[in-house]
Amino acid sequence: MALDTKLNLNNNNVEQLLSDELNLSGDTTFHGTINSINGYQIAGTGTTITVYGGNLTFNDNINGVQSLSGLSAGKNVLFTLALACSDVSTDLEVGVNKAVFFMPFNMKLTEIFAALGTVCSGSTFITEVNLNDVSILSGATKISIDSNENTSLTASSPTVILTSSLPKGGKISVDFDQVGVLSTGNAHTLYFRGTIY
């Protein structure tokens, strides 16, 4: 928990959370009712909850990240979902369905980026992301990691998101459209950042 976080308790219930950030580590349980969390905004920055492993449990008995949707109506939670798309040692190859999973909650995607544990070289590494087999990215500006860079955050061609609403149960598939020609790169991870609603 962040040092400046303050919890107001009322009959063992969390009445207010007054902070810019709440960091949780391991399994965490709220045994009471959260009446208000100050700082949340529908489309902007505000209070964030970060869970470092383990489960976050509210009194609605829903464990894990799904329980975040149980907060007050209209209060969106900023969340980052990390997806490993390869192991950490195998050279990567062009191909489809390198990773497939189904969204565990509704997410409004605001940012998506990729990372390589070992950089590629000789050409740009290009990643495609699909929702129910249809790309969510602009064809001209998919997720690209420049040669000798670890992440797409420094890409000369920034990613453009075309479809930002990722529904619970939606099929997410990841394709590698291009890898490095001199060194392919390895240990690929994809990061989805947005609000749960």
pLDDT at 77: 67
Burial 155-179 (b: 16+ CB within 10 A, else e): beeebebeeeebeeebebbbbbebb
Q: Alpha carbon 192 to chain centroid distance?
A: 3
pLDDT at 76: 55
pLDDT at 9: 40
pLDDT at 104: 87
pLDDT at 79: 82
Q: Give the pairing type, strands 48-52 and 21-25.
A: parallel
CB atoms under 10 Å from CB of 131, counted, come to 18
Per-residue pLDDT tens listing for the chain (197 residues): 334 444 444 444 444 444 444 544 444 554 444 443 433 322 223 334 444 444 444 433 222 333 343 333 334 567 888 999 999 999 999 999 999 999 988 899 999 999 999 999 999 999 999 999 999 999 889 999 999 999 999 999 999 999 999 999 999 999 999 999 999 999 999 999 998 87
On whether the pTM is more than 0.85, the answer is no
pLDDT at 64: 30
Q: How many residues does the chain have?
A: 197
User: Can you list the domains of the chain with their CATH numbers?
Assistant: 6-75 (no CATH), 82-196 (2.60.120)
Tell which residue, 146, 111, 116, 147, has the closest CA to residue 129.
Answer: 111
Residue pair 119/148 in contact by the 8 Å Cβ criterion: yes
Q: Write out the E strands in 3-124.
A: 6-10, 13-18, 21-25, 28-29, 48-52, 56-57, 77-84, 95-102, 107-118
pLDDT at 139: 83
User: What is the Cα–Cα distance from 124 to 121, expressed in whole angstroms?
Assistant: 7
Eight-class DSSP state of 147:
T
- Angle 142-103-196 (CA atoms, 0-180°, nearest 5)? 90
Which phi and psi (to 5°) does residue 61 adopt?
A: 65, 20
pLDDT at 105: 86
pLDDT at 196: 83
